[in-house]
Amino acid sequence: MSIVRVLARPMLASSFILAGLDRLRHADQTATQLSPVLRQVVQALPVQTDEKTLARVISGTQLGAGVMLAAGKFPRLSALLLTLTSTLNAVVEYRTADSSTSEARSRRRNQLLKNVSLSGGVLLAAVDTAGKPGLAWRAGHLAEAGKKSTRKQLKHADKAVRRIANDVTGA
């Protein structure tokens, strides 16, 4: 693993770890803040749950994914989870932020830009293959290798059939 990844992943994850921990500690406030979204999710779930529990799950997911990204364990999956949770938080924070004064609107805009930037960073981490080929590339090359192998086998089979046909007609 490159030194950049060793340093950058924990640096990027630190913000999400602290935010997830804070949201987990203050689950009541998190549930209140995320209430417009959580209400819809709770209704869509087949299992009976409350908004506070769902807020804890989202916060715990953010905390766990942040720790996993910082440790370099399942970095693409953890970065994808962080992208989802940070986007959800960014939308909710923007919708609920105060916009009554010019200063409040400026603060709201700056917070949105910070959240969008962090979401972009973890989105980049989600597609980072660390110099190894991704699944799409591997699948494409595997299919191409299969085509070549099949062509080669058909060519050999054609030669064998022609040889047998010549032996039968020439005998």
Same domain, 27 and 70: yes
pLDDT digits (tens, 9 = 90+) for 77-108: 999 999 999 888 888 888 888 888 999 899 99
Whole domain around residue 29: which residue ranges?
3-132
159 and 90 in a common domain:
no
- Structure tokens given for 38: 């959580």
pTM strictly above 0.75: no
CA distance 105 to 61: 30
Residues 148 and 116 in one domain: no
Element (H, E) at 38: helix 35-44
Count CB atoms within 10 A of the CB of residue 115: 18
Contact of 106 with 63, CB cutoff 8 Å: no
